[in-house]
Amino acid sequence: MTATGKLSGKTTVVTGAASGIGRAIAKRFAAEGAAAVVIADVNVAGGQATAEAISAAGSRGIFVECDVADPEPAPTTPAGATRSA
């Protein structure tokens, strides 16, 4: 991943990034130089896989298991991450 992209050094959060468009966006943010990409999703296996792929490519992938449609249990910071690849 490039460290000189539009998101160089930034931390990003992508909801629904366990698959599909969300996963593609998360990977793009990493490609644009994001230092960390937080994956927020209810799909544990897919979220962990996305975080691992991002970490393997050079950014820090962090998975947070949560349902963003339910505001009560959603973590407010990456400190709520259940898995860091």
pLDDT at 82 over 50: no
pLDDT in tens, 22-45: 999 999 999 999 999 999 999 999
pLDDT at 27: 96
β pairing state of 36-41 and 11-15: parallel
pLDDT at 2: 45
Between 51 and 70, the more confident residue is 51
CA proximity to 35, closest of 6, 77, 69, 65? 6
Between 69 and 29, the more confident residue is 29
Domain range annotation of the chain:
11-73
Alpha carbons 51 and 53: distance in angstroms, whole number? 5
Alpha carbons 7 and 30: distance in angstroms, whole number? 8
Percent helix, strand and coil across the chain, each to the nearest 5: 35, 20, 45
| Yes or no: domain 11-73 corresponds to CATH 3.40.50.720 | yes
